[in-house]
């Protein structure tokens, strides 16, 4: 299996290189040169597969022998060792709960699969790998948990000071061992810019073997396809095979959405994607008028979606070629915090379901989409699946303020409260960051 760079479609690399480099030298993003279709029988018979089994079949199809089947099977089985259940809200509305992994967010899927794939390819390497991750909330915790105790791999996490929830911060800063947290005095975009700059810094990359683990790493996107199939398996019936199902995706860097589009290209019957945004709605505006105008992110209640320049936008472009096609494939909606809070309340009062702020933005977008399509045509009502991207207890103070009741904290999070935070403070300028890396990993410098 080969990958091209979105900035240079004629230059290809293999899976190993795409994973370890993360970002091509030309500053594009890696994309698969071929997106193979699954057999229609496979889609028809999804119900015969467990989640792990369908994940293995899909990964085998897209990775096309990039690693031995037995190794791939072991990686899939150990990475996807928690479920992705759906919960029905009303006749046509289902929630896909993506928060049953170790850090209670959907990023566990991508992070765990990527970590295990990297560890597999890293066995043959002599030099330690230092993975740089910028996080707006959930990525860092998921990546850290995915890589904890992996031999030969160090992880450095950059997060914007004061802009992640207390629980997220605990997940980022209390693991120790091969995981280092940097608390950056700036925004998520600043963190992302520091990481991007490091990858393009030849002097640094000559000394330290750097790897990426953001949603820009193609290895993150592959496992995120699996749960679209899993959700379809759970809610679709024969009638949905023709019309397809509508997936609503709370969107930030557009990684989750891109994975959905890849799943559709592989043959999943998707009618349309609904991209749900908070006030950081650069992508919604693009869908509306065709102009892509990044701008600094603003802080919202759904902070993992506070992204002003979504990194996977170029992949969405690569998959659709032109704006008109993307507009047909994806509907975009955005909502402010007050509306999101009202939706959290509504979902609880109407359906007795506790939805987190990111999922609530998704709920609003799905309702807006339903409303719009009702006005547009008399076609039969479509079935929708809303991706619930994180467990509500990850945003405890906001959730309890909004619902005026206690929200249950799963054991996995509760035990973090007693661990000690260890983080290094850092400005948003590049040189101190670079020097930190060179000093910290001095013993690795060649
Ligand atoms: C990361 C994240 C998102 C945004 O996902 P993208 O793939 O970056 O679009 C949404 N919700 C939660 C809870 C997240 O952690």
Nearest ligand 1 atom to the CA of 356 is 13
- pLDDT tens digits for range 390-407: 999 989 999 999 999 999
**83: pLDDT confidence band, cut at 50, 70 and 90?**
very high
Which member of 21, 60, 73, 107 is catalytic? 107
State in Å: Cα 89 to ligand 1 middle: 22
Structure tokens at 202: 């030849």
- Find out whether the beta carbon of 254 lies less than 6 Å from any atom of ligand 1: yes
The region of weakest confidence among 150-159, 162-171, 251-260 is: 162-171
Instruction: Among 140-144, 324-328, 413-417, name the most confident range.
Output: 324-328
Place of tokens 């480099």: 21
Fold classification of 83-103+221-403 (topology level) = Rossmann fold (3.40.50)
**pLDDT tens-digit map of 4-50:** 999 999 989 999 999 988 889 898 999 999 999 999 999 999 999 99
For 219-230, the pLDDT digits (tens) are 999 999 999 999
Give pLDDT, residue 377.
64
135 lines ligand 1 (CB under 6 A): no
131-162 residue pLDDT tens = 999 987 767 888 889 999 888 899 999 999 99
Distance 251 CA to ligand 1 centre (A): 6
124 has pLDDT over 90: no
Atom of ligand 1 nearest to the CA of 359: 11
pLDDT category, 69, cuts 50, 70, 90? very high
CA dist 166 and 157 (Å) reads 16
Distance 213 CA to ligand 1 centre (A): 14
Q: What is the best residue among 142, 227, 261, 304 to mutate for testing ligand 1's pocket, by most ligand atoms within 8 Å of CB? A: 304
Q: What's the pLDDT band for 127 if we cut at 50, 70, 90?
A: confident
- Ligand 1 pocket, 314 CB below 6 A? no
> In 37-173, which ranges are continuous DSSP H helix?
40-44, 51-63, 69-79, 107-122, 138-147, 166-173
Distance of CA 197 to the CA centre of its chain: 21
pLDDT for res 63: 94
> In this predicted structure, what is the pLDDT of residue 165?
79
Q: Confirm whether 107 is a catalytic residue.
A: yes
- Ligand 1 site, residue 303, Cβ cutoff 6 A: no
- The verdict on the CB of residue 102 being under 6 Å from ligand 1 is no
Paired tokens of 429 = 């300028």
Residue nearest to atom 15 of ligand 1 (CA): 138
pLDDT for 268 beyond 80: yes
> Can you give the pLDDT at residue 378?
53
User: What pLDDT sits at residue 379?
Assistant: 61
- Give the distance (Å) from ligand 1 centre to CA of residue 215: 9
Q: How far is the CA of 254 from the centre of ligand 1 (A)?
A: 8
**Nearest ligand 1 atom to alpha carbon 256:** 7
pLDDT band with cut points at 50, 70 and 90 for residue 297: very high
Q: Is the pLDDT of residue 283 over 80?
A: yes
Confidence label for 215 from pLDDT (cuts 50, 70 and 90):
low
Q: Is the pLDDT score of 277 beyond 70?
A: yes
Residue 116: CB within 6 Å of ligand 1? no
Cβ-based neighbours of 267, under 8 Å, separated by 6 or more: 37, 38, 39, 40, 42, 43
- Choice from 106, 260, 386 to test ligand 1 binding pocket (greatest atom count within 8 A of CB): 106
Confirm or reject: Cβ of 390 under 6 Å from ligand 1.
Answer: yes
385 token code pair = 């699946």
pLDDT of 168 > 90? The answer is no
Segment 191-208 shows an average pLDDT of 93
Percent of the chain with pLDDT over 70: 98
Task: Give distance in angstroms: CA of 249 to centre of ligand 1.
Answer: 9
* Average pLDDT of the residues in 120-134: 90
- Distance (Å, whole) CA 164 – CA 303: 7
E strand map for 317-423: 330-334, 384-388
Ligand 1 close to Cβ of residue 389 (< 6 A): yes
Structure tokens at 203: 């002097």
| Higher pLDDT pick, 211 / 273 | 273
The CA distance from 215 to 203, in Å, is: 25
| pLDDT at 374 (0 to 100) | 82
How much is the mean pLDDT over the chain?
A: 93
- Express as a percent the part of the chain with pLDDT over 90: 79
User: What pLDDT does 25 receive?
Assistant: 85
Of ligand 1's listed atoms, the one at least distance from the Cα of 394 is 13
Q: Assign 52 a pLDDT band (cuts: 50, 70, 90).
A: very high
Distance CA 139, CA 131 (A): 13
Q: For position 181, what pLDDT does the model report?
A: 96
Summarize the confidence of residues 192-201 as an average pLDDT: 93
Instruction: Please report, for the chain, the start and end positions of each structural domain, with discontinuous segments joined by +.
Output: 83-103+221-403
Q: How many angstroms does the Cα of residue 177 sit away from the middle of ligand 1?
A: 26
Distance from C-alpha of 137 to C-alpha of 143, rounded to nearest angstrom: 11
């Amino acid at each position: 299996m080969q990958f091209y760079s979105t900035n240079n479609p004629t230059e290809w690399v293999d899976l190993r290189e795409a994973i370890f480099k993360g970002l091509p030298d030309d500053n594009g993003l890696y994309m698969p040169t071929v997106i193979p279709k699954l057999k229609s029988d496979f889609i028809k018979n999804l119900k015969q597969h467990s989640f792990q089994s369908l994940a293995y079949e899909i990964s085998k199809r897209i990775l096309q022998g990039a690693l031995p089947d037995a190794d791939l099977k072991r990686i899939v089985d150990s990475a996807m060792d928690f479920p992705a259940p759906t919960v029905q809200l009303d006749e046509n509305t289902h929630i896909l709960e993506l928060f049953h992994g170790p850090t209670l967010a959907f990023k566990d899927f991508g992070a765990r699969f990527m970590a295990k794939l990297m560890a597999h390819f890293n066995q043959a390497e002599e030099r330690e790998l230092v993975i740089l991750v910028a996080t707006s909330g959930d990525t860092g915790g998921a990546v850290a948990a995915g890589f904890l105790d992996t031999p030969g791999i160090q992880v450095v996490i950059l997060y914007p000071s004061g802009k992640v929830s207390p629980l997220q911060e605990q997940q980022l800063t209390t693991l120790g061992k091969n995981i280092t947290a940097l608390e950056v005095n700036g925004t998520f975009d600043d963190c992302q810019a520091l990481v991007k700059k490091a990858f393009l810094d030849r002097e640094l990359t000559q000394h330290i073997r750097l790897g990426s683990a953001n949603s820009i790493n193609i290895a993150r996107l592959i496992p995120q396809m699996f749960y679209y199939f899993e959700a379809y398996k759970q809610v679709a019936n024969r009638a949905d095979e023709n019309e397809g199902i509508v997936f609503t995706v709370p969107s930030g860097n557009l990684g989750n959405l891109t994975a959905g589009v890849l799943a559709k290209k592989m043959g999943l019957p998707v009618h349309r994607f609904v991209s749900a945004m908070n006030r950081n709605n650069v992508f919604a505006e693009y869908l509306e008028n065709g102009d892509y105008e990044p701008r600094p992110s603003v802080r919202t209640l759904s902070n993992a979606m506070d992204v002003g320049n979504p990194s996977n936008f170029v992949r969405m472009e690569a998959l659709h070629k032109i704006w008109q096609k993307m507009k047909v494939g994806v509907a975009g909606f955005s909502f402010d915090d007050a509306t999101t809070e009202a939706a959290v309340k509504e979902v609880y009062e109407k359906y007795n379901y506790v939805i987190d702020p990111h999922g609530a933005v998704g709920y609003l977008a799905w309702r807006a989409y339903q409303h719009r399509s009702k006005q547009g045509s008399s076609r039969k009502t479509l079935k929708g699946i809303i991706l619930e991207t994180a467990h509500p207890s990850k945003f405890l103070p906001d959730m309890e303020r909004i619902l005026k009741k206690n929200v249950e904290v799963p054991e996995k999070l509760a035990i973090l409260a007693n661990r000690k935070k260890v983080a290094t403070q850092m400005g948003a300028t590049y040189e101190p960051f670079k020097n930190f890396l060179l000093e910290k990993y001095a013993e690795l410098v060649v």
